[in-house]
Structure 1
Amino acid sequence: MLFDTHTHLNDPDLFLRAGELIVRAQEVGVTRFVVPGYDRESSLRAMELAAQHEAVFAVVGFHPQDAAAVGESDFADLEVWVRDEKVVGIGEIGLDYHYEEPAREVQADVFRRQIAIAKQVRKPIVIHDRDAHGDVVRILRDENAKEIGGIMHSFSGSSEMAAECLQLNFYLSFAGPITFKNAKRPREVAAQVPLDRLLIETDAPYLTPEPYRGKQNEPAHVRFVADKLAQLRQLPVEEIARVTYANAHRIFSIAGDVQ
C-alpha cells in the first residue's frame, strides 16, 4: 500500500477528474491521499474532496506566494477549518524567494501566524521552501515548531539542512525529482534519511517522475518515487511502501490499517 502525502487533486486541472484519478491510483496500490491547500479556494476544495472520499485527507493553509492577499478573515477561517476531523494539518506554508514578491517580511508574518494556529490545534505543518532554506529553518526554530513537527514537502535541501529538519521533528518527503538523472543532491539526501522520517509524494499535477516526465502528474505515479527510493536504499520496494505508509499515518495522526 502506498500513501501519496502531497497531491493537488484540488488543482483546477485535476479537480473535476479527482474521482477518476483516485480510482486509477487505487488500482496500482495507492490507498491514501493528502490534498494540501495553497489559498482559500484550494483549501475549501481540499476539504470538499476529503468529505467525499474516505481515502482523502485535507491540509489547509496559505502558500507564501499568496501571502500579500491573506487578511484577518482568512486567519479566522483557518482557525475554523483546522478543527475539521478530516483536516490533518496546515499547509502548504513557508517561504518562496524565487520571485521578488511578495515581500519577504510579509511571507514571514503569514508563515509565523499559521505556525501559531497549528500549535493551538496540535496539528503538523507542511512546508513549502523555495530558495529560502536558511530563513525557513530559522523561523521553525524561533516559533518552536518542533512541538508539532511536520513535513518538508518535496525536499530539495542539503544533507546539513536535512539534519537540522530532523532535529526539529520534521519528516522529509521526496517527489518526482529524485527520479531525474541530474538530481544528485536529492538522491544523496534521500539515501541517508532515517527510514522512520521518510515520506513519498507526487505534488501532482507538478514534478512528474520518470518515465512520464514532461506530462501531467497524478497520484498513481507515486509508485515511481517509491521504486527509486527502493533502489537508492537497496531495499525491496515493499519495505519502502510499508515504512512510508506507516510514517504518513504517524505524522498526520491518521488511524488505519498500518502494518
Structure 2
Amino acid sequence: MIIDSHCHLNILPEDKVGTVDAVLEKARELGVEKVLCVAINPAQWEDVLRLADQYESVYAAIGIHPCEERNVVVTDEALIKAASHPKVIAIGEVGLDYFHFEEDAAIEGGMDWQHERFKQHIRIAKQLDKPLIIHTRNSTPDCLTILETEGAAKVGGIMHCFVEDMQTANRAMEIGFYISFSGIVTFKNAKDLKTVATDIPLDRVLVETDSPYLAPMPFRGKTNQPGYTRYVVEEIAKLKGVSFEAVAEATTHNFNRLFKLD
C-alpha cells in the first residue's frame, strides 16, 4: 500500500482527471490506498472536510498557506473548531514563503505577519496534538528557527515537497519532522535532490504528489493526481537500491506512525 501524504483533491480539475470517484479509483489501481487532502485557506476547509467525510480513504489537513495574503486570518477558536474534526489529522499547510513577497522580505520586520500566523498554527497544533504540514520557500532558516523556538518538536510533522539540502533535512529530522518527496525527485535535472533522497534514512521518508501540481516523470507538465505517488516510490526505490515494496511499506508505516494511525 502507498499513501499520498499531500494532495489537493478538492481542486483537481475534473475536465483533466475526472471526478473524485474516478481519481481515487485510479489511485487504488496504482496501489495508492489513502490520501491526505490539504487545505490552503479557510474557504477550502468545508470542501476538504466534506471529502474526508465522504471517502474513508481521505484524511484532511486544515490551515492557511503562507502565500495567502496578510488579511487572511482566523481566530484560534475557528481554527480549533475546524481542526477538531475526527478526520483532520494535521495542521497545514503552513509555514513561510518569502518568494512571493520579495518586497516585504527585504524589509526588517516585513514578514512579521507571516511569522505570527505560522506561530498561531504551531500553537494550535500543540494544543490539539496534531502534526504540522510545512511549506517553506526562500525562508528555510527562519522557518526552522520558528519551529524550534515554538516547540514544534512536541508534535512533529512533514517537510512537504522537500527540495532543500541534507543539512536542512537533518535539522528538520532532529525536531521530529519527516521528509516528504514529490514528483520533483523524478526530474532528470534534480540531481542534488536525488542525492538527498538517497542519503535520508528510509524510516524518515514520506511520499506525495502535491497534485494537481508537480506531476512526476513521465507525466511532467501534465495534471498530477494521487495515483502518481507510485512513480515517486519507484524513483526512491531506484535511488536507494531497494525494492519498490520496501519503500511502499516503509513510507506507509512512517505515515501511520506520525499520525498515530496504527
Of 37, 59, 62, the match for 1:60: 62
| Structure 1 position 79 matched with structure 2 position 86 | no
Provide the residue aligned with 2:94 in structure 1.
93
Gaps of 5+ in 2: 105-109
* Maintained 8 Å contact 1:206/1:217: yes
| In structure 1, distance between residues paired with 2:99 and 2:173 | 24
| In structure 1, distance between residues paired with 2:244 and 2:166 | 23
- CA drift of 1:72 comes to 4.0
Relative to structure 1, the CA distance from residue 16 to residue 64 in structure 2 (aligned partners, 3 Å threshold; closer, same or farther) is farther
* Maintained 8 Å contact 1:175/1:209: yes
Provide the residue aligned with 2:7 in structure 1.
7
Gaps of 5+ in 1: none
Provide the residue aligned with 2:141 in structure 1.
134
Relative to structure 1, the CA distance from residue 149 to residue 67 in structure 2 (aligned partners, 3 Å threshold; closer, same or farther) is farther
Relative to structure 1, the CA distance from residue 233 to residue 12 in structure 2 (aligned partners, 3 Å threshold; closer, same or farther) is closer
Moved more, 148-157 or 99-108: 99-108
- CA drift of 1:104 comes to 1.4
| In structure 2, distance between residues paired with 1:3 and 1:12 | 18
- Tell me the number of residue pairs that the alignment of Structure 1 and Structure 2 aligns: 254
Of 103, 109, 115, the match for 1:108: 115
Describe the superposition over 1:115-173 as per-residue Cα deviations: whole angstroms up to 9, x where unpaired. 00000010000000111110111100110100100000011111100110010100000
Of 30, 33, 36, the match for 1:31: 33
| Structure 1 position 160 matched with structure 2 position 162 | no
Amino acid corresponding to residue 5 of structure 1 in structure 2: S
Relative to structure 1, the CA distance from residue 72 to residue 3 in structure 2 (aligned partners, 3 Å threshold; closer, same or farther) is closer
Provide the residue aligned with 1:180 in structure 2.
187
- CA drift of 1:16 comes to 7.7
| In structure 2, distance between residues paired with 1:28 and 1:99 | 35
* Maintained 8 Å contact 2:181/2:207: yes
Higher RCO, Cα 8 Å, sep 6+: 2
Of 145, 149, 162, the match for 2:152: 145
* Maintained 8 Å contact 1:229/1:240: yes
| In structure 2, distance between residues paired with 1:98 and 1:72 | 23
- CA drift of 1:221 comes to 0.6
Amino acid corresponding to residue 3 of structure 1 in structure 2: I
- CA drift of 1:13 comes to 2.5
Provide the residue aligned with 2:214 in structure 1.
207
Moved more, 20-29 or 201-210: 20-29
- CA drift of 1:76 comes to 2.2
- CA drift of 1:190 comes to 0.8
- CA drift of 1:77 comes to 1.4
| In structure 1, distance between residues paired with 2:46 and 2:247 | 32
| In structure 2, distance between residues paired with 1:197 and 1:69 | 35
Amino acid corresponding to residue 99 of structure 2 in structure 1: H
User: Secondary structure of the equivalent of 1:59?
Assistant: strand
Provide the residue aligned with 1:51 in structure 2.
53
| In structure 1, distance between residues paired with 2:234 and 2:58 | 23
User: Secondary structure of the equivalent of 1:65?
Assistant: coil
| Structure 1 position 225 matched with structure 2 position 236 | no
- CA drift of 1:71 comes to 2.8
* Maintained 8 Å contact 2:12/2:225: no
Moved more, 85-94 or 6-15: 6-15
| In structure 2, distance between residues paired with 1:243 and 1:44 | 32
- CA drift of 1:96 comes to 0.6
* Maintained 8 Å contact 1:11/1:42: no
Mapping for residues 226-241 of structure 1, pairs under 5 Å: 226-241=233-248
